[in-house]
């Protein structure tokens, strides 16, 4: 009822989804419980706390783990929201929420942004037309139609954003103070908000390796994606997709050292990504192993455990010791996170090994 711009069908759809859906129970860092419909996301949670928390949400941690804003919540999750006064909603946020409240608030914010841009764009058009000795009210609707906009507001906002150029208006004939667009030049602009980076669809033939990932619920084979070398994801890791400006879609671990920066500053470029059921692809995993150098045999024990007992391939291996302490760097070929964890447990159990840590 508060949203005067919502039509009846949209209202009923949102009302039914909130009324009849199953529920999930999640918690704030202070232990306060929030009840949300099943399928609700981290961004839905932010808006359930307060509208301003939702508007300025930049990053979300679920159970102390950084996740995309579109992450679907489960019962018992503890959610922590990070905000920034410089953050504001964009159109992609509508794809990340399911609750009527969040959708309504995001749409309201987008409309308000458009209105502000439109006010400034209107002044620009008014000045342009005054130079041509033309009246804004007489020509605005005709100009909007000529450039493919549904209304004046979209025209004004797009004009301010620089999406259209009015320099050619002076080339058209004018009769009785009205521009005559005898040769239409339709330039359709789908949106007046800041456009998100375009995701390149892959034209490569389908292969087993490209069926490993689903992105935003769609088969990964449709996207030109690759695995990020900064964190080397392994099948079974918690992952997300990041849309680069020129490098296509990169798949990162949520534990990637760059994840917080990407999600905080470029949240609109992050997409949900999940592993599919396909297997057989090999991944690279890097380990650092440290321990007490008790004499000859350390390298033999380590390589023997990996190659002979576990049957895994070593991609690279180096070890250095000093004053009774050694550090080794091992790059393994694994098929999934379970195999990697098995290797870590086996190495930790060896005599003289103190720590085994996965690195990026």
> What CATH number should be reported for the domain holding residue 50?
3.10.20.30
The domain boundary, picked from 242, 275, 308, lies at 275
The reply to whether 2 falls in a domain is no
Residue 206 pLDDT greater than 80, yes or no: no
Q: Kindly report the average pLDDT of the chain as a whole number.
A: 79
The reply to whether 1 falls in a domain is no
The reply to whether 250 falls in a domain is yes
**Least confident segment among 121-135, 190-204, 331-345:** 190-204
pLDDT tens digits along 126-156 = 887 887 788 888 888 888 887 778 788 888 8
The pTM of the whole model exceeds 0.75? no
Are residues 92 and 12 located together in one domain of the fold?
A: yes
pLDDT of residue 200: 46
Are residues 24 and 56 located together in one domain of the fold?
A: yes
pLDDT of residue 276: 77
The reply to whether 40 falls in a domain is yes
The reply to whether 189 falls in a domain is no
Residue 192 pLDDT greater than 70, yes or no: no
pLDDT tens digits along 82-98 = 988 888 888 888 888 99
pLDDT of residue 207: 38
The reply to whether 105 falls in a domain is no
Q: How confident is the model at residue 118 (pLDDT cuts 50, 70, 90)?
A: confident
Are residues 16 and 92 located together in one domain of the fold?
A: yes
- Exposed e or buried b per residue across 291-305, where buried means at least 16 C-beta atoms within 10 angstroms of its C-beta: bebeeeebeeebeeb
Please name which of 117, 39, 43 lies closest in space to residue 75, comparing C-alpha atoms.
Answer: 39
The reply to whether 202 falls in a domain is no
What domain range is 263 assigned to?
A: 208-275
pLDDT of residue 89: 87
pLDDT tens digits along 36-69 = 999 999 999 999 999 999 999 988 899 988 888 8
The domain boundary, picked from 162, 180, 198, lies at 180
The domain boundary, picked from 45, 64, 98, lies at 98
Are residues 115 and 83 located together in one domain of the fold?
A: no
> Which CATH number is 328's domain given?
3.30.70.260
Are residues 296 and 346 located together in one domain of the fold?
A: yes
Are residues 89 and 136 located together in one domain of the fold?
A: no
**Least confident segment among 115-119, 176-180, 192-196:** 192-196
* Range among 12-21, 68-77, 201-210, 283-292 rated most confident: 68-77
Are residues 266 and 300 located together in one domain of the fold?
A: no
* Higher pLDDT pick, 232 / 294: 232
Are residues 221 and 261 located together in one domain of the fold?
A: yes
pLDDT of residue 18: 58
Task: Give me the number of domains the chain comprises.
Answer: 4
Segment 266-285 mean pLDDT: 77
* Higher pLDDT pick, 157 / 345: 345
The reply to whether 198 falls in a domain is no
């Amino acid at each position: 009822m508060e949203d005067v711009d919502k039509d009846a069908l949209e209202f009923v759809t949102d009302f039914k989804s909130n009324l009849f859906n199953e529920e999930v129970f999640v918690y704030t860092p202070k232990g306060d419980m929030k009840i949300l419909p099943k399928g609700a996301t981290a961004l839905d949670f932010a808006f359930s706390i307060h509208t301003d928390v939702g508007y300025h949400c930049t990053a979300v941690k679920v159970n102390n783990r950084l996740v995309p804003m579109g992450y679907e919540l489960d019962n018992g999750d503890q959610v922590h929201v990070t905000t920034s006064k410089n953050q504001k909603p964009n159109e992609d946020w509508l794809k990340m929420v399911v609750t009527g409240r969040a959708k309504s608030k995001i749409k309201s914010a987008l409309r308000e942004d458009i209105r502000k841009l439109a006010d400034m764009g209107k002044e620009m058009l008014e000045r342009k037309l005054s130079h041509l000795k033309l009246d804004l009210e007489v020509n605005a609707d005709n100009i909007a139609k000529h450039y493919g906009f549904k209304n004046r507001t979209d025209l004004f906002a797009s004009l301010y954003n620089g999406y259209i150029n009015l320099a050619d208006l002076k080339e058209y004939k004018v009769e009785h103070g009205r521009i005559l667009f005898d040769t239409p030049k339709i330039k359709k602009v789908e949106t007046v908000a800041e456009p998100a980076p375009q995701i390149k669809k892959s034209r490569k033939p389908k292969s087993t390796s490209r069926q490993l990932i689903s992105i935003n619920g769609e088969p990964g084979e449709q996207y030109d994606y690759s695995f990020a070398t900064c964190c080397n994801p392994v099948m079974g890791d918690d992952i997300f997709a990041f849309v680069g400006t020129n490098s296509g879609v990169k798949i990162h671990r949520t534990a990637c050292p760059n994840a917080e920066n990407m999600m905080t500053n470029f949240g609109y470029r992050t997409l949900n990504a999940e592993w599919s059921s396909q297997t057989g692809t090999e991944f690279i995993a890097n380990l650092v192993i440290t321990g007490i150098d008790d004499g000859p045999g350390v390298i033999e024990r380590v390589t023997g455990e990996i190659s002979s007992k576990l049957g895994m391939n070593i991609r690279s291996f180096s070890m250095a010791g000093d004053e009774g302490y050694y550090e080794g760097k091992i790059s393994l070929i694994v098929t999934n996170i379970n195999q990697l964890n098995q290797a870590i447990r086996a190495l930790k159990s060896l005599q003289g090994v103190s720590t085994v840590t996965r690195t990026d």
